[in-house]
Chain A
Amino acid sequence: MQTLLFALEVSLNGFMTGILYALVALGFVLIFKASGVFNYAQGVMVLFAALTLVGLQQGIVPFQHLINNLLGTSIHGFGWNMPTFLALLLTLLTMLLLAWLVEKLILKHLVNQNPVILFMATIGLAYFLEGFGDLMWGADLKKLDIGIPMGISDTVEQTTYDWFGYGFFIDRLDITASIVAALLVIGLTIFSQFSKTGRALRAVADDHQAALSVGISLRRIWVIVWSIAGLVALIAGIFWGSKSGVQFSLSLVALKALPVLMLGGLTSIPGAIVGGLLIGVGEKLFDFMVGPMIGGATENWFAYVVALVFLLFRPQGLFGEKIIERV
């Protein structure tokens, strides 16, 4: 009984972690679905968004390191703290600007190229942003705090204690993240179902050629999806950044999102969510049940191996479009 309760607790926590994975995965799916680009830079966009948010909030002078080095000055901060709301807004604007620049400077020139080429371009973008983010805001660790509650939820612990005689641990940050993720998905669904732009997005996702022929501008679509992906990156960055502080390693969350994508299918938003949940629960349970027998730290590869085995039976992922081969 006790073990069962633990397993349940582990699964619940896995579930919550899965939502955080799904948040990162969502950014990949949005871009892939609308433009067929596998955006490797999504992880770095998460880092970049979080860095920009903290940088603005704490009043760090952008490029101070470079300026000081070139001009021999020693400026460090503006000396004010920006209100969180304003910082969020400005970060969002930065992400929109980034999306616009990406389209203008990169994607525009690579229309009709092989998807692999576009994928590689995003690798280049990832490199660029990684260096650029550090150059702009500095590579030291920054604390991100925008007032999201963190730590064990007493309500959940008390309730479960009353029910089972064992209090469950649920992180309040995770609860917030789940709510935000749910809102985000609902928002995206409403947007894509009911707005004109949303319909255009779906049309493009269904059939590029047909969409183009009825006068939908692919380039505008690209700016829009990259902007939305920037928004998703910002949200993921806030939650992951609150957990660990904002620094270089944050971009590595992308590695946790990739198996989620494979499992859920590259083109499916529900797939990203369900995939995230499956991976989250699966890896925690596996580490809990099997981990101790084989020495633990299985989380890095478990998700990938599960996704791999799964793909063997369903190459297009859980919700991906079925691949029909034709000659």
Chain B
Amino acid sequence: MFYREVGEFKTSYPQDSESFGIGLDKYGYYFVLFIAFVIIPLMINDYWASAVLVPFLVWAIASLGLNILTGYCGQISLGTGGFMAVGAYSCYKLMTSFPDLNIIFCIILSGLITAGVGILFGIPSLRIKGFYLAVATLASQFFLVWLFNRVPWFYNYSASGQISTPERSVFGILVTGPNVQPWAQYMICLLFAFGLAWGCRNLTRGSLGRKWRATRDMDIAAEIIGVNLLQAKLSAFAISSFYIGIAGALFFSVYLGAVDATEAFGINQSFLVLFMIIIGGLGSILGSFIGAAFMVLFPVLLKNILVGWWEWDAALATHLEFISVGFLIIVFLIFEPHGLAQLWRLLKQKLRLWPYPH
């Protein structure tokens, strides 16, 4: 009854294409931002930062990236783990080679390097389609991880092949290394996540986004309309990899602090991100966040209930986690193939019409 367009008059086209058209939406959005930027940093502790919020934000960025490629441009990729590794190792090399370079630039540059690698591995997408492409992207996954494991230059010849992050600060506030404050760790990820989500929203509603979606929905028609498929696909690969590279850089430098290529960037990470966008919703920015939240929070929640409350043993809880994640994926697909974000939209649609049924 309260949530609807009635009484909201758009007097210009720019107003009509605003992201949050309905007043209540806009206030809700400001409210979430307020919580995220003001309330949480005041309340956060080590556990919430390292175990929940930082991984959530990092995965959300990676999901945004994969969503650009898969959700918007329709190219399924299973190379996310490999591209995250590129981001992480670029970030490490930049941080250690140029100790004076601000960490923010290191992270952004890592994204750009990953974008370059992404373009390289995106070239086959011009000829290979569908599942063949999905499997082909696994080549990048395995090759990149092997490369970082194999070439000692990438890990500065350390004995174990691990890379670990040196301490770096932004405006005098430590953001990496073991001594970092939880709120600082959280804030830097939040800033990147917010900026990138905002950029993603702009890109996907503009002409580039339409190019991607047209390619996804019907590539031949898109080409005849004037979409250069080469450019559309490669730009999707590049920008998606840019996002994923930044996620990888944050994953390494801010979140974990030390990584080993095989363990941290294995094939299961690629699948994890794919699950996030499926569950959250393909081609939806909100979906990327919901999906990441779901995949990060759900296991923690389940573990806390089963192990913490009911005192089941931890292994059982993990088996049940697998079973229920699998079950939920199937249930979602059957009842709502467009993910949690679509459920949210449908709910809003209902609200808009409430209390009238139709």
Report A's interface with B, CB cutoff 8 A: 38, 65-66, 69, 105-106, 109-110, 113-117, 119-121, 123-132, 134-135, 139, 255, 258-259, 261-262, 266, 294-295, 297-298, 300-301, 304-305, 307-308, 311-312, 315-317, 323, 325, 327
Closest to B313 in A: A69
Q: How many angstroms from the CA of A132 to the CA of B271 in the assembled complex? A: 19
Q: Say whether B334 faces chain A, with CB atoms less than 8 Å apart.
A: yes
Q: Say whether B146 faces chain A, with CB atoms less than 8 Å apart.
A: yes
Give which listed residue, B132, B146, B221, B333, contacts A121 with CB less than 8 A: B333
Q: How many angstroms from the CA of A129 to the CA of B327 in the assembled complex? A: 10
Q: Contacts of A259 on B, CB cut-off 8 Å? A: 135, 138-139
B224-252 to A contact mask, C-beta < 8 Å, 1/0:
10000000000000000000000000000
Contact A135 B320 (CB under 8 A): yes
Give which listed residue, B138, B220, B278, B337, contacts A325 with CB less than 8 A: B220
Q: Say whether B343 faces chain A, with CB atoms less than 8 Å apart.
A: no
Provide a sorted-by-A list of 9 A–B residue pairs whose CB atoms are within 8 angstroms. Answer: A38-B131, A114-B337, A119-B131, A120-B329, A259-B139, A304-B141, A308-B124, A315-B128, A317-B132
Contact A134 B131 (CB under 8 A): no
B261-292 to A contact mask, C-beta < 8 Å, 1/0:
00000010001001100100000000000000
With A113-B337, A325-B220 as known contacts, state yes or no: A128 contacts B143, CB within 8 Å.
no
Q: How many angstroms from the CA of A222 to the CA of B121 in the assembled complex? A: 35
Identify whether the interface residues of B are mostly helix, strand, loop, or mixed.
Answer: helix
Q: Say whether B54 faces chain A, with CB atoms less than 8 Å apart.
A: no
Q: Say whether B200 faces chain A, with CB atoms less than 8 Å apart.
A: no
Give which listed residue, B130, B139, B318, B325, contacts A304 with CB less than 8 A: B139
With A294-B150, A308-B124, A315-B129 as known contacts, state yes or no: A124 contacts B316, CB within 8 Å.
no
Contact A308 B139 (CB under 8 A): yes
With A258-B138, A297-B146, A304-B139 as known contacts, state yes or no: A127 contacts B220, CB within 8 Å.
no
Contact B136 A307 (CB under 8 A): yes
With A121-B330, A315-B129 as known contacts, state yes or no: A307 contacts B139, CB within 8 Å.
yes
With A295-B150, A304-B143, A307-B139 as known contacts, state yes or no: A66 contacts B130, CB within 8 Å.
no
Q: Contacts of A65 on B, CB cut-off 8 Å? A: 313, 315-316
Closest to A114 in B: B337
Q: How many angstroms from the CA of A325 to the CA of B220 in the assembled complex? A: 8
Q: Say whether B163 faces chain A, with CB atoms less than 8 Å apart.
A: no
Q: How many angstroms from the CA of A106 to the CA of B330 in the assembled complex? A: 7
With A125-B326, A126-B326, A308-B124 as known contacts, state yes or no: A110 contacts B334, CB within 8 Å.
yes
Contact B132 A311 (CB under 8 A): yes
Contact A139 B132 (CB under 8 A): no
Contact A266 B131 (CB under 8 A): yes
Given pairs A109-B334, A121-B329, 11 additional interface contacts (CB within 8 A) = A117-B337, A125-B326, A127-B325, A127-B326, A128-B323, A259-B139, A297-B150, A301-B139, A305-B139, A311-B124, A312-B124
Chain A's nearest CB lies how many Å from the CB of B188? 32
B148-171 to A contact mask, C-beta < 8 Å, 1/0:
001000000000000000000000
With A109-B334, A315-B128 as known contacts, state yes or no: A127 contacts B138, CB within 8 Å.
no
Contact B315 A139 (CB under 8 A): yes
Give which listed residue, B278, B326, B333, contacts A131 with CB less than 8 A: B326
Q: Say whether B119 faces chain A, with CB atoms less than 8 Å apart.
A: no
B323-358 to A contact mask, C-beta < 8 Å, 1/0:
111111110011001000000000000000000000
Chain A's nearest CB lies how many Å from the CB of B127? 5
Q: Contacts of B260 on A, CB cut-off 8 Å? A: none
Q: Contacts of B139 on A, CB cut-off 8 Å? A: 259, 301, 304-305, 307-308
Q: Say whether B112 faces chain A, with CB atoms less than 8 Å apart.
A: no
B106-120 to A contact mask, C-beta < 8 Å, 1/0:
000000000000000
With A131-B321, A131-B322 as known contacts, state yes or no: A123 contacts B329, CB within 8 Å.
yes
Q: Contacts of A69 on B, CB cut-off 8 Å? A: 312-313, 316
Q: How many angstroms from the CA of A325 to the CA of B325 in the assembled complex? A: 38
Give which listed residue, A113, A116, A135, contacts B319 with CB less than 8 A: A135
Closest to B121 in A: A308
Q: How many angstroms from the CA of A192 to the CA of B271 in the assembled complex? A: 35
With A304-B136, A311-B132, A312-B124 as known contacts, state yes or no: A132 contacts B323, CB within 8 Å.
yes
Contact A134 B333 (CB under 8 A): no
Contact A305 B132 (CB under 8 A): no
Closest to A259 in B: B135
Q: Say whether B142 faces chain A, with CB atoms less than 8 Å apart.
A: yes
Q: Say whether B76 faces chain A, with CB atoms less than 8 Å apart.
A: yes
Q: Contacts of A261 on B, CB cut-off 8 Å? A: 135
Q: Contacts of A295 on B, CB cut-off 8 Å? A: 150
